[in-house]
């Protein structure tokens, strides 16, 4: 989960959610987001394909299904949509040069193997592509968040 502040163009909260739906709900996503009203929930879609290489369980898919069932997300972009925009494509981009990585480092968030970087990528994609948020578009085009 990630919260991207449109006023500052910075991530203000990020959290990895273990334990499926229960971990997601207990992770504070809904309560924390209310501190940043107005807010919009956006969730990366997961389409199972034979080319998917993963060893993780499918708890993320359960969370996505629950969010869809409860109508809690505005949209569900495919990974290729947000990762192309934010330069996080596997085998095509240098993650260390992505504006998302730079944003996380500058805000003091740990960059690891988890999904927080992808969550921020989805949030930034939504701001740029759906909201047409000018400061976010400028940040992405310049390659930095200053």
Q: Between the CA of residue 37 and those of 32, 41, 114, 135, what are the distances in Å?
A: 10, 11, 26, 19
How far apart CA 107 and CA 123 sit, in angstroms, is 15
More confident residue, 19 or 30: 19
Confidence class for position 146, pLDDT limits 50, 70, 90: very low
Confidence class for position 38, pLDDT limits 50, 70, 90: low
Least trusted range by pLDDT, from 27-36, 54-63, 88-97, 126-135? 27-36
**Residue spans per domain, the chain:** 2-142
pLDDT for the residue 60: 79
């Amino acid at each position: 989960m990630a919260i991207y502040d449109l006023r500052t163009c910075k991530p203000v909260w990020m959290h990895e959610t273990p334990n499926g739906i229960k971990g997601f709900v207990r992770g504070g996503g809904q309560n924390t987001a209310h501190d940043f009203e107005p807010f919009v929930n956006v969730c990366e879609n997961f389409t199972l394909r034979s080319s998917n290489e993963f060893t993780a369980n499918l708890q993320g898919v359960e969370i996505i299904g629950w969010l869809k069932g409860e109508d809690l997300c505005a949209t569900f972009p495919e990974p290729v949509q947000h990762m192309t925009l934010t330069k996080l494509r596997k085998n095509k981009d240098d993650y260390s040069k992505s504006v998302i990585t730079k944003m996380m480092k500058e805000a003091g968030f740990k960059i690891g193997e988890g999904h927080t970087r992808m969550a921020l990528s989805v949030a930034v994609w939504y701001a740029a592509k759906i909201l047409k948020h000018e400061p976010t578009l400028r940040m992405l085009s310049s390659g930095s968040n200053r």
